[in-house]
Amino acid sequence: MKAWLGLLAALATSPLAGAALQDVEWTSPGGDAGKTHFSPLTDIDPGNVARLGLAWQAELGTNRVLEATPVMVGGVLYTSGVAGRVYAFDAATGRELWRFEPDIDMQINRSVCCDMANRGIAVAQGLVYVGALDGWLYALDAGTGAVVWKVDTIEDHHRGTSSTGAPELAGDLVVLGNAGSDYDARGYVTAYDRRTGALRWRFHITPKDPALGPQDNPELDAALKTWDPASRWDIGAGGSPWDAIAYDPETGLVLVGTGNAEPYSLTARSPRGGHNLYVSSIVAIEARTGRMRWFYQESPEDQWDYDATAPMILTHMTIDGRDRAVVLHAPKNGFLYALDRATGAVLRANPIVRVNWARHIDAVSGEPELDPAADISAGPKIVFPATPGARNWHPGAYDAARGRWYGAVLDMGNLIFVPPGPKPYAAKGLNTGAALIFTSDLARALPTLPPPVQAAVKALPAWQDVLANPARADIRAIDPLTGQTLWSDPTGGWQDRAGVLATASGLVVHGTIGGELRVLDAQTGRLLKSIRTGTTIMAAPMTYRLGGVQYIAVMAAWGGGGYPYVPTYSAAYQRGNMGRLLVFRLDGGPVPIPPPLPPLEIAPPPPPQAPGVTPATIARGQGLYFSVGCALCHANQPRSITPDLRRMSTETHAAFRQIVLGGLYQAAGMPRWDDALKPADADAIHAWLIDQQAKTRAEDLEKRRRGLPLDAPSLAILSNY
């Protein structure tokens, strides 16, 4: 009750009080300095939300991922899109004011695990900041989109480093992290003068090979003691802070969530063990000096791809009778933390999904007790949560008055094992050194694994749990001090996760990959309004008031991790992936729905195999296809947003070498591979794809004979049911 009275008193004395026509901005992707994704606006409420409809939309000319949350400043709605494109619109009418497209080096696509994503921009004093996929940081004129300055943030272009996160403003600095821990990156975060782009400081997350000389920052001397001197320094060690950077003006600290370690196996990475600082951690850096004040490692000895890069929320909470400035963090590893912002002390840490990598977290030290049952270095293990994480990049929201955290939660595990054989360093390539199968698919996939792996999996304690409850995804309201779920709203499947918005009027707003905008009652989780969009929504909505009207805006398109594997229940699978910005208001109209995709056509006949192609050639091509990384972009599924290479045209077959080795389609995002593949390698991959196309065509013809749709499950799967 006191919290409610406090909120009402604050609203009564704030500029919002009685100012129905006052504009209310949304000044950062998180909405405010604490990145709470919470709005004090109450114009749209449970009593009138049934009238919500489309105010305006903008088609953004892409069929790739849109993950950013827009920003509204000065009546202009700014947002970012694929690879760091930036758009500016009149926030009331939708009239496009300008757009910016960075000149991207498309070779970067070889070192990006999770699509050409960008998670937002920063705006301050007439400048718009964006990090492009290939690592360039741009400052744009907010009125025209012209480049004011740009700087290359990539330290070593010989490594697979990219940028996908939103820049963070920290006083007179703009701070940007980098991605690439699954490749061969050594993580770091960099601060630049926001007026000139001059480098102010850089903080490295993991040590470099001590044989190369002194460490880059003194904190790494301490970190080095937590690594084996004989670690796989050649691979880079990981730790890349690809998202989750938050500036705390109360302490002057930049809080940085760091990425996973690589390779995944601890004994392969750091043979004599160690916590391996500062991977999978929150690192607090003084904005003024670039020196570390404190750190908290959420997942010591990370072997499970447990990035600590999920968005952070900065707020105040009463804990144990004291007002505490806290950072709320729900990372991949399955716990929801409340940490003291000034010291990093763990005030609360509660599991919100099934967790078996740690037995518990010590209430005093904050140290997790690791469970040997999750040590993948010792053999195949079923580990909860899975590598996609209990949480990921999808922003959560925090309502301080109600004391509730809202967000998308995934309760799923995966089988992880280290395939036999050496793991040589692959420059700019995947260096995780592990195989993964999600528990959502494990029962079906298990018979395809080698018999020793099958036997090991069935003997694991988690196997029966997998059979009973393979995966669950939902939007939840959670008490952040206890971890208790107060209500949950199930989603369509494990990939159906989106960012959320909460408002003071008692609304929780999120999208679905099925193509809906859903508005829930914040107190009960009851569905108040569903708007059919026909386009997948994964980004977090935001809201603003302009000219006396409250608007809700959201980016819409499928993509991100596993982006070529389009779920059958998604709007992207059914209607394509036309990227849009959708803006809603009371008494708006219907959303234009994209038409259904046309029926699939039978795969065209492939060309004959080249002379000399043998079963061994085809098998080698299959191995290259998956080991080099082709399968990361080409799922060979009928409704993928990238080409299904089992259905290539005669012209594509004829140009195959030019495409793969010569960069014929580089402008469309297909990089060249002539530095990693020899002509014989490309020919072997082509031979396997020809073989796959012949099999796909034969199955298509049989489905047509049986009267089945061509995108029905394969006949081999159907025969098992």
| CA dist., res. 412 & res. 354, Å (int) | 8
Please give the single-letter amino acid code of residue 699. E
* 400 within 8 A of 316, measured Cβ to Cβ: yes
Contacts for 321 with CB less than 8 Å, ≥ 6 apart: none
Could you check whether the bond before residue 385 is cis, i.e. omega within 30 degrees of 0?
yes
Neighbours of 540 (CB within 10 A): 32
| CA dist., res. 306 & res. 282, Å (int) | 12
DSSP calls for 622-683: HHHHHHHTHHHH----TT-SS--GGG--HHHHHTHHHHHTT-TTGGGT----TTT--HHHHH
Pairing status of strand 322-329 against strand 312-319: antiparallel
| CA dist., res. 194 & res. 18, Å (int) | 36
Chain mean position to CA 512: 15
DSSP calls for 276-335: -TTTTEEEEEETTT--EEEEEESSTT--S-----SPEEEEEEEETTEEEEEEEE--TTSE
To the query of whether residue 305 is one of the catalytic residues in this protein, the response is yes
Closest CA relative to residue 344, chosen from 327, 367, 361, 368:
327
Give me the phi and psi of 680, to 5 degrees please: -65, -30
Contacts for 687 with CB less than 8 Å, ≥ 6 apart: 609, 610, 613, 617, 618, 621
Contacts for 173 with CB less than 8 Å, ≥ 6 apart: 191, 192, 193, 194, 200, 287
Pairing status of strand 358-361 against strand 368-370: antiparallel
Give kind and range of the element (H or E) at residue 702. helix 679-706
* 247 within 8 A of 262, measured Cβ to Cβ: no
Contacts for 285 with CB less than 8 Å, ≥ 6 apart: 189, 203, 253, 254, 255, 256, 291, 292, 293
Catalytic residue, chosen from 134, 184, 302, 305, is 305
Please give the single-letter amino acid code of residue 128. V
Give the catalytic positions in this structure.
305
